[in-house]
Structure formats: C-alpha cells, structure tokens
Structure 1
Amino acid sequence: MGKRFSRTLPVAHTLMGSLLAGASFTAVAQGQTMSAEALDWQPWGEEEAANQLCRGRYVMPSYRLPAEDNPETVSLEAREVDYAADGEALLRGDVVLRRGNEEVEAERIFLPADRQQVDAEGNIAIRDGRALVRGEQAMLRLNEDRATLGDSHYVLYEQHLRGQASQLEQTGEGEYRLQDASFTTCDPGTNSWQLVSSDIRLNQAEGFGTARHARLQVKDVPVFYWPWLRFPIDDRRHTGLLSPSIGFSSDGFDYAQPFYWNIAANHDATITPRWMSDHGLLMNGEYRYLFEESSGIVEGGYLNSDDGGSGGGENRFEGDDRWYVDARHAGRVNERSNYRLRYGAASDGRYFDDFGGEFGESDRASMERLAQVDYRGQRWQLDARAQGFQRLEDPLSDSDKPFYQLPSLSANANWQFDNGLYTQWRSNATYFWRDVDERRVPEREAATGSRLHLMPAVGWRFERPWGYLEPRTELWNTAYELDYGERDTQRSDSPSRSVALTSIDSGLVFERELALGGRDYRQTLEPRLNYAYVPRTDQSELPDFDSRERAFSWDQLWSAQRFSGTDRVGDLNRLSYGVQSRLLEDASGRDRLSFGVGQSVYFDDRRIDSEGDADTLPDRPEDNPSVNPESRYQATRDRSPLVTRLDWEINDRWSSGAEWLYDDHRERTERSSVDVGYRHPEGHVVNLGYRWEIEGFDPGVLPGDDGFRDYNREEWDLSFAWKASTNIDLIGRYLHDQTNERSLEQLAGVQWNNCCYGLQLVWREWVDDNDTAPIDDDFNDRGLFLRFVFRGLGGVGQDADSYFEQTIPGYRPTAL
C-alpha cells in the first residue's frame, strides 16, 4: 500500500502547465513509436464511429490523486520513500505527484534537500488536462522556468495532435526547445504525413514557433524542405507565408503565394504575388485596420504588361497594364448616425473575368464609389451620399454607363395613428452626371442635372383577424434642372411632373381545421382584391436617370408602380384579383403548403414606356427592331398573364416550388419555373430546376443589351452533393441551355476528409458570354482545381467552400 502525504512547497509553475500550456503546435516525431493506449487514445464506439472523421480521440484519464484545497499544495504518493539525513528524498515505485491541475507519474523521483529540482526517471507521464508528455528522463527546476525531458512523446488533446522529440527543454518562462522533433495530426499508427525538424523553438509569450531544417514527409518520403519556418502556436496572427494556391485550367498554370504581415493588433496586410502562365505576374495586396468606432480595408492588384491570356479573350489586352483598387471605410458618428466611404476602380471591364473569383467565376458586376452619412431617428431618417459605379463590361457603350449621384440627399418620415390612419413623407434631391458623348445616347439619357422629388402619402388600414382594407394615395411631385451639353434638343431644361398613385387593397381570411395523414393542420383561404389607378401623364420631356419597367410577377399584381426608380410613373387602371390558400402545421405554425393564383384586368392601355410619351403606343417589333418584341402586346393587352405559384414542403426532406405565368389569350406560357429540392439529415443535397421564358419577357431589357436573349430561354439545372461516407463528399452540377442545345456549366468534384488530411479535386467547364448579348462570340473555358490540406499545418489550393454553397443550394461542405 503506497504512502500518501501532502505538504506545501515553494513551487513555480513548472510542471506540465509551464511545459506546454497554450501551445497549439501540431506535431509527431521520429524514433520509437508508442502504443495508442499510452498516448491516452480512445477509439470511438460503433455508433459514434459512423459520424466521425477520426477513428478515436485523445482523452486524459482521471486524476489519480484528489485535488487539494490549496492549489499550491503538492501531493505525493509512492510505494517506497527513502529519506536521507540532509533532507534528500527518493520516491520509488509508481510515483504520483500532483499540484493543481498538473500531475506527474514516474518510476522514480529524486527530491534534493533544497527542493529546488525534481529528477524523474522511468515511464514518465506529465498531464495537465490539455496535454500529455511522456519520456524516460526529466529534470524540473521548481523555482525556475526550466525543464528538460529526453526521448519524449507528446499529445495535445483538443488539437488532436501528437509528436516526438529526442529532447524537450524549457529554456525560460514560456520558452521551449525541441530537438530532432516531429508532429502530425494523424491517428496513432497512421503517419500519412508528418513535419520533421532538427530544432523547434516555441515562444508561448509571443505566440509563435520556429523550425530549422524542416521537412514535410508523406508516408516517410520527404516532399518539401524549409531551411527556416515560422508558425503560430495559438490564435494570434503572425507574420509569415500562408498556404499557396495552385490551379490548372485551359488558360494554363496559376500559382499564388500569400504573405501575411501582422503590423499591429488592429492592422494587418496580405501581399500575394500570383503568376499565371498566360498573363504574367500579378501583384495583389490587402490592408485591413480596425479602430474603436471605424474599420476599413484597402485591396488592389497590378499586372505590368499583360501577356495576352488565352481562350476567347486571347490578346485582347496584350501589352496593357491591368489593375484594380477597392478601398472601403465605415464608421460610427454617434448611436443614431453612421458613415461609409468607398472607392473602387478597375483598368478594364474584363479584369475580374480574367483574374477574379473562384474557379473562373467572377461575381463583380461593378465597382462602387461612395461617400455616405445617415441618421436614423424615431420618426425621421436622413441620408446624404455621393455615389457612382464603374460598370464592368467590355465593350461598354455610353448608353450603358451608369449615372453618378453628386450628391443625393434624402429625408423620410412616418406618422402612425391609433385609428389606423397613417401618413408618410419621402423626399430626395439628387444631381446626376456621367461622362458620355451626349450625341451618341438616346435623347432621354443625354441630359445631366438635378432632380427634386417630393412624395407625401396618406393611407388608412383597417385590419381584423378575418380580413383587412387599405386605401392609399401617393402624390409624386418631381422637378428637374437639366443640361444637354452639345446635344441639339427641343426638350425643356426645366420639366416637372405631378401625378397621384391611388390604390385600394383588400382581403379576407377564412380558416378551418383539417386532419391529413394523422396530422392536424389549419387551412386558410385568402381571397384578395386590389384596384390601382394612375392617370396617364406625359413624361416625354423628362430624362431617364434611374427608371426601368418591371417584369410581371406575383408581386406586380398588387403594386401600383410599373417602373422602378423615380423618372417614370406608368399609367395604370386595373383590378387585380386572386386567392391564396395555406396549410399551416398546428404543432409548429410552419407553412407546409402555399398556393396562389391571380390575374389583373386592365381598363385602359398602358402608353407610358421608357420614352414617357402619353400619346403613342410602343412601336411594333416588325417596324422597329430595336424595341422589345413584347412591348406592344404588353401595352395593349386587356388582362395580364394568369399567375400561379406554389411552395410545398412535402416532408422534412423534400420540398418544391413552382411559378407559372400563362397567357390565356394567346394560350401560351410566358414564364415558368419548377424547383425540387432534397435535404437529408446526413448532408445529402439534390436540386433540380427548370426555367422557361419567352423572348422579350422583361420589358426593361432591349435588343442590344447584354442581358437580352433573342430566343425563348429554356434551361435545366441539376446539382447535387452526396456524402458517400463520413470522409467522402461527391459534388456535381449540370446547367443545360435547351434552346441552343449546349451546356452552360458542368462541374464534378470529390472531397476527402479525415482528421489527418483533406483533399478537394474539382473539374469545371463553363461558358463565358464575352460581355455581349449574341451567343456567336461565346466561348468555353475549363479548369481542374486541386486543394490539399494537412490538418494542423495548412494546405495548398483555392478555398472553394463559398462557391460550392452558392452553386449547390443547401450544401454545407465539411471544412478542410
């Protein structure tokens, strides 16, 4: 029976907590292997293993000695204890020493008379709840931050990391040195990779480590060598190289090597040289800063003398310097007021098509320039801004260049009364400008100048559980001061317009209890009537700064505004009627099924279009090929398409949605879409979509615009992500243009994950529309993209997770 005693000693924090506490360094080593059990490894049970990337986990066993009331007290237990006359002590046979959360096990421990040092030998194990160190010999200086262990193995529990070192030495407070050391995150007995170094130094106070003559070994075969390597050992940011990115595509080879610069706690920068075999060397940079009440980011890129590229855009910018800059700053003035600043610019409209985005995909359509401050009060909301955009298209016609607002001032307010009456005030003053040749754009777009818009509104909403009634009137008062520059025109330079938009919206709600399939539901039947009247007001003298006619939809059934923006108010005299039914699950209140059908009846033609002429109808397409082919019919039809929509949550895994716009006069479908989605609790995702749209359906898009298609658009979209196992994800997408019998995008990929390493391999082929409407100059591009990650060390390749989530709705990739 071992003897047990406790006493207080003047011990510094030198045991395991001082030895490796806080180190997040991921490691395994050379030399003699150690059994998984000796490394505190516990395999998962059969039920748990099915959902785990790793075969098990590291778990510290229970303390062998109970905790003392005073955490500075050292508890000892041994089979034999020998005392010398001068106070020296030798403990033998399964010795256990505990102080606070730190516990040491050894076959023998020698304590000198001054108690300043502990010498341990034989099967040493040091644990502190976060880490384990094993070795055969150890020397711990109790009043100094110094310790030395020979032939050590170590484990970091939370980081799932293990390693070896021929000698592990604590050289000072929070400073450690490991000689002939290695580490890995692979499970015990599986060294798929490991990092080996002759000399590793850890600085806990600074939060980083260094390694000399470091070698990355895969299956014991060296594949990479660093003469000197610096790495983080905690969550603090540190200056150094980040994981490179490598890509292969039909354009050639692409390699980027980021360098991170930790300037200060609230400042950092990333500098990324990127070499592309078909373009040359592109230098990218990003600078970030954070203050107490403001933050910002400045990013940019520069390529000196483009080599010309390849594919459909080959040689377009050969010899040109290409660049972009995007600077953003946002801050707080006070609790009710914020401000934003932004300036973005690019050398050309194809910059991000050639260099930006993941897997050749660019989601930037414009570069914003903005200076804005706002105020949000309980009643008033104020906004002042100067704003503009560089549209990223090449070629870009003058007509497609957006207007700058220099400045734009808005003041809005709301008043709500207890009897349901409410009033609103909307006002805006803006000066519009753009740099174009006024003689080369449509006359309505040729002017620059100021616009003052005042819109008071009054309404009354009567609402009860069984229904509602809401009459509303808005008065749009708009005045301009214009300059047509060198454009000869007969238009007034001070036009104005006043027009009232009146609507009456009403609806009823009927409910009943319903039992289906053993479940209780609440079914609603909600008929709705909406009348809107907007008198025909000539607006042919007015410019067109920001208006666009909206495409018809379910929401347009109930809206009095046919145009977005302020410069056009479409004449309207119509009655919309419809009915919606919902199936609500009583237990949760969730909509299981929502079905609606509606239509509008017009009592007059809609003469106001983008030209604003109240006396004429749009030209027939056979007489004027530059007009939207559907505009004449849309303006003269006596009823809208029949709009039907469906949202159905079939069960917890299957859902579907559909929209159908059917012209019952011409007996044809104008637009339709069907979506079916599958979501499995284990992460499987399948999406199937179908789209149909007649040529010219969107009245705001004209022939010649990049978004116009001179054919009926019919597309199929299939995407999936299937978790074949805990370790393997299979992903794919196929987008098909049925009209032109071509593939718009094909994607196939596999992702392999375990707790040791991760692999992502994706092939993608897609159509680049060359920023033009005709499909004759479209061209295909393709690429093979690889990402490889060593857990705890980093990886190589592009991070594709955000792209996959966008392309395959519902998919959440396992993080590499």
Structure 2
Amino acid sequence: MKKQKNCSLRSLIYLIICFCISSNLIAEDVVIKPRQKPVTIKADRVEGIYEQEMEAIGNAQLCYGDNTLTADRMKYFPSTNEAEVTGNIRLDRKNDFIQGNYLKLNLDTEIGFLSDPRYTMKEGDGRGAGEKLLFEGKNQYRLKEGSYTTCPVGDEDWFILADDLKIDSEKEVGVARNVSVRFKGVPILYTPWLDFSYSGRRKTGFLAPIVGHTARSGADLAIPFYLNIAPNIDATIAPRVMSRRGFMVNNELRYIGENVHGQFLADVLPRDIDSHETRYGVSFQHAQYLGHGWRGQLDYNRVSDDRFLRDLSNNLSQTSRTNLLQQAGMFYHGALGHDGTLSVSAIAQRFQTLQDPFVDQNFDLLTISPYKRLPQVTMNAIKRNVGGLDFAMNASWSNFAHPTRIDGKRLTMFPTVSLPFRNSYGFLTPKFGMHYTNYALSTAAGNAGSNPDRLIPIVSLDSGVIFDRNMSIRGNNYIQTLEPRAYYVYVPFEDQSFLPNFDSAESDFSFAQMLTENRFSGSDRINDANQITLALTSRLIEPATGIERLRVAVGQQFRFRDRRVILDSSQVTSRKADFIAALSGRLTQEISTDLNIQLDQSELRTEKFRGGISYRPELGKVINLGYRYTRDVREQIDIPVNQLNTAIKQVDTSIQWPFFSNWHTVARVNYSLRDDRLLAGLAGFEYISCCYKFRVVVQKLTTATTKTTTAVFVQLELNGLMDIGSNPLRILEQSIPGYASIY
C-alpha cells in the first residue's frame, strides 16, 4: 500500500512538470542538469516536451559553463545535450565570440557546425569570416573558405584567405592551408601552409620571408624558420639567397636562465659566386654568474675575410667595425671587510683586425692590430675609513704579444692613500700614490735592457663646494646649484721614451679628463704634471623628481710648466692650457641640446667642437641637428694635408616627421665637409595605419676608403600576423636619435 502511494505521488509530480513545460512560460529561467554541466535557458517564451525537446523563442539565451549562446530561436535536446539555433546567433566564450545564422552543437563535446560564421578574438584583435565553421572540441574550430585580419570592422586593408583555417583558442594559434595574403585587395603572397600566433605568443614555425637589395649582394631573399625550443631557449634558421653572392644560411641561438644568458650567431656562405670562396661569420657571447661574487664571460667574433661585413651586412655598426673582439674572462667582485671592496679579473684577449681592402698598397694607412693579452690579471682593492684614511691598490700583470712589434710582460702596482674631508656643502681630498711598473721584454729597450722599470710618485688635491638656491622660471620651481671645483696634480718628469707602448694613448681633452691624474689611458705612459684645474658647474634640478633639467660647465687647466712626456710630436706641450665649456639638458619640454667646445687660447682658435640640438614635440616627431669639428693638428708638423689630413668637419642631421595624415618621412645625412662626401645617408617614408605599417628606406654607407654600398629596405608589417620584407627599424633607431615606432 505504501509503495502504491509513492508511485502515485511520483506520477503526479511528473504530470505537473510536463504540464508546465508544455505550457507557455513568459520570461522565466529553466535549469536542466545534464550529464556534465548545468544548462540554463532564458527566453520570452519557452515550450517543449520534458526530457525530449525544449524550444526557446524570442531573445533566447542558453548558458553552459563559461559560454553564453544567444539567438532569436533555439531548440535544446536534454537527452543528447545538443542545441539547434537559428537567427542572429552569438556565442560568447572565454577567448572569443562567434556569430552566424544556423548552429548545431553538442554542449558536452563542443562538436558541431555554424553557417555563415563571423568570429572575433578577445586576445590579439583578430577577426574573420567563412562559409562554414566546424567546432572540433573545446577551444578549437575550423573554418572552410575562411579569412583572418586584425583590421577593425569595416576596414579590409589586409586579410588572409584560406581553404582551411583552424583556430586553437587555448594555444592562441592559427593554422591555414592554401593561403593567399591580400593587401588592398591585391594578392601579395601565396603559401600552401601558414602557422601563426595571433596573440604574439612564441611558437615554432616559418616566419615571413625577408626581401631586400644591396649594391654588393644584389637581390636578397631569406625565409626564416623559428624554433621555440624551450621557454628560455629559441633559435632561428634562415636560408638566404643573394643574386650576386649565392646561397647562405644565417643561424641564431639565444638562451637565458637565472644565472646565465648568451647568443650564438653563425652565417655561412658555402661558395661566393663572385669570389668562389667559402665565407663565414661567427659571433658567440656568453655570460654566467657562478655565485659568491664570481662570473664568467666569453665574447668571440670572427669572419672569414676582411670584406665579409662590408659585402654581406646592411648594418652601419657592422660594416664600420675594424677590430673583432675575441675574449674570455673570469671576474670577481665582493666585499673587503667592513667598508671595502675587492675586484679581481683574469682575461685572455685578442682581436681579428679587418683591413680596408682598398688601401693594401699603402702601408701607412693599414690598421695596426692591438696587442694580444695572453693573459691579463688585474686587482682593484679599496679600504675606506681606516683611522680616517682611505687606502686603494690597483695592480695588474699582463703578457703582451704581437706578430710584428716588441712584446713582453708588464707588472704594475699603484697603491694610494687619501684623507677625505666631507660635509653637506663641500669636500677636500688630499691623495698620494706611487706608480710602479716593471717589464720583461723579448727585446732590449735601449740602455735600459730587457727589464726596465719605472717608479713615479703622484700627488693630487681635489676640492669642491656646492651652493644651492630655490628659484622659479615661468612658474616652474627648480633648485639651482653652483659648484666650483679646484683640482691640483703634481707628477715629476720621468723619461719614458725607452719604454714600449702596449696599450697607452692620449685621451681626448674633455671636461671629465681635466679632472684626472693622467691624460694617458693604459699604464705605459704616466704624464708629468704641475697643474691646477678650475671648474665651475651649475645645474637646474626639479625638486619633486630630482631630474636634472640643465647643466652648464666651464673649466680650464693652468700648467706651471710645459709638458715633456708625449707619445708623438703632434701633441700640445705648451703650458698654456685649453679652455672647455659644455652645455647639456632640456632647454624646454621639446628642445634639448648637448654642446662641447675646446678653445686654444694661445692661438685663439677652436680645437674641438661637438654640438647637437634636438626638437621632439611629441612621439613620432623629432628633428636632430649636429656638427662635429676637430682641428688638423698634423699640419703643425709639416705633413702634407692631402696625405694625412686628420681634421674632421662633419654635419649630421636626421628627422622623423609626419607630412600627410598617416604618412611619416624619415631621413638622415652624415656629410664630411672636408672631403665633400656623404659618409652615411638615409631616406624613406612610413605609412602607419590601425592594422598595418608600410616602410620604404634607402640607405647609403661608406664602407671603405673609396667604396660605398646602397641598401633598400621594404617592409609591410601586418599587425598580429607577420612582417613581410626587410626590417629597417634597427637602422632607423641607430640613424635617427629619438626615433619612435608608432603603434
């Protein structure tokens, strides 16, 4: 009896549910719990048959998981968990939303199809359409006769058409077959297969071809293949064909870790059509932190011949290189007790020197390769505040080798002690040191034999005062400083003409160099000095940020005796010193400048001038004007000007500026007034739109004494898909200070 009552109650509930479902439900939610995830249906009217079919009519909405499906009308089948939808369909998912006219979809497997599909990515701005969309599982679908673009709706500047286009929303990649890339409605590229990341995520696959032209290599085509080996390791292999040189392979491997990073480049040309030789270039940089203050570093660069970079590189910084570094080293930096530091390094170093191939017959113009250091060990130790004194020791031991010059070993030790007095408004630092040098030479150095040495005391007194005040300029508050400084150096004369010169050269006379003890770099020459340098610096500083807006500095050395230690007879030895002035900073928010001038007071003439001014009113707008002058000091020693003229007179101007709507012009001219010759020139234009960029740049470089090369860069950048052509961005950034790629 009890069992019959339960059956009757269950039957009554079923009848009520069926009645409700078969009736019209106005603006009500119906929740159904299928096998995997709950489904919620909402519409103006819902009707159907329980556990068989449910139909939602008018503003219909079906929600399952993270997905929301809306349409004019839809049918839902609980037994199979399938939906059949028509009219103004929109499927909103986590990574995209899809629209169409007719949809049939299994909500469990997410397998089905959609007619007249239109899709939009939520990551990467990609969108497209097709004849039919096939759902192939969670976050994956395939379009037949599909398209893809990143242009906004209504703008079809570029798009790809594919017979088959598969989208993986989880990996954020697309795979297309039988693809044509169309720009302004014109097919510009066809490929049977295209694999791309629409979110910018790294992935293995072919990159867009690189097309270019240079005067020395001819027409140039490269097809890079990118390998995403690991999250911290990648590589690019680029087969390259040049009409005047032949087939070449460019290889690049990059890696980075918590304590290591590096890059390996290898370019191989098995047989040059022009020279019939095998040519190559290798570059390997590796740096690794070993712990406890130790790190190792390797920097190895080599090419097969002197003309490799000039013939096969489009980069000015590459074509102008003359010495390729080959160095391995170990370095240590750590504390030396309390208030002290210790730095130790050991390197093995040599260079590959590239000669200008067009001066082979003129020995005087050949580039002399630097000495090899096999090895060099240095130590720098500083210990501060020992009874009020600061102690320092700079020491080195080097083994110098050269194929044509005298070589040998050199030991240097330079201990110093100073007594600094400091407070909030100034400082006074007397300092004393003894510089000792000992050589073990392969050939005797005159009367000094093969083991000459040198011991020179060096005394200096450095002092300065800092004044500051608050001031206002055009309503802006600043802190203005006035910083006078006096620096005295005394070094007695020691004849060093019999010593070899492994690594010394006279430093350029500059504001910073005036305030140093030795005007020579390296350790083979120590200048004699009895001089005082007076300098005055004034700065404008923003008090809120600490940013230095403007700096003005003047300085002059007063020598109490003529110089006697020189490296060549063209150096100035008179006690009448030059005057230096410098101005740098932002004159306004848009205008910045950097000016340096060196005047010879004895002759009342300019020795050196470096000047530049830059106008940058906003991103993508910049004008740079520069001038460089160095007087020809060699005319003092009766060397014919047409034989060795070292005077430098150069102008350097560059610009990036919009000239019409989305069009920008780019140009640079580096011109030698002395030689009446263009050293480096660049001209081109950019068109920047919302979904693509088009650049054309022509660059002309002087690569040797009598030779130039011209390179043409043409690039079409399709946002979110690929770059077609040769990329001139690095050239533009190097050639035009302040250049900005506009997006």
TM-score normalised by the chain length of structure 2: 0.88
Map 1:648-659; keep pairs closer than 5 Å.
Answer: 648-659=585-596
Shift of 1:116: 1.9
Shift of 1:574: 1.1
Shift of 1:360: 9.0
Q: 1: distance between equivalents of 2:540 and 2:232?
A: 52
Shift of 1:159: 2.0
Q: 2: distance between equivalents of 1:221 and 1:589?
A: 54
| Structure-2 residue corresponding to 1:606 | 563
Map 1:452-467; keep pairs closer than 5 Å.
Answer: 452-467=411-426
Q: 2: distance between equivalents of 1:724 and 1:670?
A: 39
Q: 1: distance between equivalents of 2:228 and 2:273?
A: 33
Structure 2 residue matching 1:377: 3-state secondary structure: strand
Match of 2:47 among 77, 82, 105: 82
Shift of 1:146: 1.9
Q: 2: distance between equivalents of 1:422 and 1:76?
A: 82
Match of 1:128 among 82, 85, 93: 93
Q: 1: distance between equivalents of 2:168 and 2:175?
A: 9
| Structure-2 residue corresponding to 1:720 | 655
**Which is bigger in relative contact order (C-alpha 8 A, separation at least 6)?**
1
Q: 2: distance between equivalents of 1:805 and 1:370?
A: 28
Map 1:586-605; keep pairs closer than 5 Å.
Answer: 586=543, 588-605=545-562
| Distance change (3 Å), C-alpha of 1:2 and 1:779 | farther
Contact 2:141 2:166 in 1 (8 A): yes
Letter in 2 for 1:344: N
1:736 aligns with 2:736: no
Shift of 1:548: 0.8
Q: 2: distance between equivalents of 1:455 and 1:369?
A: 28
Contact 1:152 1:168 in 2 (8 A): yes
| Structure-1 residue corresponding to 2:482 | 525
| Structure-2 residue corresponding to 1:747 | 682
| Distance change (3 Å), C-alpha of 1:660 and 1:287 | closer
| Structure-2 residue corresponding to 1:548 | 505
Contact 1:454 1:477 in 2 (8 A): yes
| Structure-2 residue corresponding to 1:431 | 399
Letter in 1 for 2:234: D
Deviations 1:107-126 (A, max 9, x none): 22222232522222221101
1:286 aligns with 2:243: no
Q: 1: distance between equivalents of 2:165 and 2:547?
A: 57
Aligned Cα root-mean-square deviation (Å): 3.0
Bigger-Rg structure (1/2): 2
Q: 2: distance between equivalents of 1:488 and 1:423?
A: 34
Match of 1:643 among 580, 604, 622: 580
Deviations 1:772-801 (A, max 9, x none): xxxxx4334333321112222212222222
Shift of 1:589: 4.3
Letter in 1 for 2:254: R
Structure 2 residue matching 1:680: 3-state secondary structure: strand
| Distance change (3 Å), C-alpha of 1:797 and 1:219 | closer
Shift of 1:666: 0.8
Contact 2:634 2:645 in 1 (8 A): no
Letter in 1 for 2:409: S
| Structure-1 residue corresponding to 2:602 | 665
Q: 1: distance between equivalents of 2:460 and 2:317?
A: 47
Q: 1: distance between equivalents of 2:633 and 2:26?
A: 91
| Structure-2 residue corresponding to 1:354 | 311
Shift of 1:87: 4.1
Map 1:100-499; keep pairs closer than 5 Å.
Answer: 101-114=66-79, 116-128=81-93, 130-203=95-168, 208-251=173-216, 252-290=218-256, 293-308=259-274, 318-358=275-315, 362=319, 364-379=321-336, 380-395=342-357, 400-417=368-385, 421-434=389-402, 436-437=403-404, 446-484=405-443, 492-499=449-456
| Distance change (3 Å), C-alpha of 1:757 and 1:134 | same
| Structure-1 residue corresponding to 2:707 | 779
Q: Which moved further from structure 2: 88-97 or 141-150?
A: 141-150
1:571 aligns with 2:499: no
Letter in 2 for 1:476: H
Structure 1 residue matching 2:306: 3-state secondary structure: coil
Contact 1:682 1:723 in 2 (8 A): no
Deviations 1:234-271 (A, max 9, x none): 55433332122222344432222212234444443322
| Distance change (3 Å), C-alpha of 1:764 and 1:345 | closer
| Distance change (3 Å), C-alpha of 1:146 and 1:697 | farther
Q: 2: distance between equivalents of 1:291 and 1:654?
A: 41
Shift of 1:718: 1.6
Structure 2 residue matching 1:577: 3-state secondary structure: strand
Deviations 1:534-581 (A, max 9, x none): 111222343221111112111222111111011211111111123223
| Structure-2 residue corresponding to 1:38 | none
Contact 2:620 2:742 in 1 (8 A): no
| Structure-2 residue corresponding to 1:690 | 627
| Distance change (3 Å), C-alpha of 1:265 and 1:239 | same
Letter in 1 for 2:401: W
Contact 1:358 1:798 in 2 (8 A): no
Structure 1 residue matching 2:356: 3-state secondary structure: coil
Q: 2: distance between equivalents of 1:644 and 1:107?
A: 78
Q: Identify the structure with the greater strand proportion.
A: 2
| Structure-2 residue corresponding to 1:19 | none
Letter in 1 for 2:213: F
Letter in 1 for 2:732: F
Contact 1:258 1:270 in 2 (8 A): yes
Contact 2:124 2:199 in 1 (8 A): no
| Distance change (3 Å), C-alpha of 1:360 and 1:368 | closer
Letter in 2 for 1:384: A
Letter in 2 for 1:176: Y
| Distance change (3 Å), C-alpha of 1:505 and 1:573 | same
For structure 2, the 5+ residue unaligned runs are 1-24, 337-341
Match of 1:794 among 701, 713, 722: 722
| Distance change (3 Å), C-alpha of 1:664 and 1:737 | same
Q: 2: distance between equivalents of 1:343 and 1:360?
A: 17
Q: 1: distance between equivalents of 2:692 and 2:278?
A: 40
Contact 2:445 2:498 in 1 (8 A): no
Deviations 1:274-330 (A, max 9, x none): 22222222222123344554343321112234333xxxxxxxxx2332211122322
| Distance change (3 Å), C-alpha of 1:304 and 1:702 | farther
Q: Percent identity?
A: 30
Contact 2:324 2:352 in 1 (8 A): yes
TM-score normalised by the chain length of structure 1: 0.80
Contact 1:641 1:663 in 2 (8 A): yes
| Distance change (3 Å), C-alpha of 1:327 and 1:734 | closer
Map 1:58-73; keep pairs closer than 5 Å.
Answer: 73=38
Q: 2: distance between equivalents of 1:221 and 1:739?
A: 49
Shift of 1:678: 0.9
Q: 2: distance between equivalents of 1:266 and 1:599?
A: 53
| Distance change (3 Å), C-alpha of 1:525 and 1:755 | closer
Shift of 1:361: 6.0
| Distance change (3 Å), C-alpha of 1:399 and 1:214 | closer
Q: 2: distance between equivalents of 1:187 and 1:518?
A: 44
Letter in 2 for 1:448: D
Q: 1: distance between equivalents of 2:684 and 2:186?
A: 27
Q: 2: distance between equivalents of 1:223 and 1:799?
A: 17
Q: 2: distance between equivalents of 1:145 and 1:91?
A: 20
| Distance change (3 Å), C-alpha of 1:296 and 1:215 | same
Q: 1: distance between equivalents of 2:313 and 2:186?
A: 36
Structure 2 residue matching 1:324: 3-state secondary structure: strand
Q: 2: distance between equivalents of 1:338 and 1:270?
A: 28
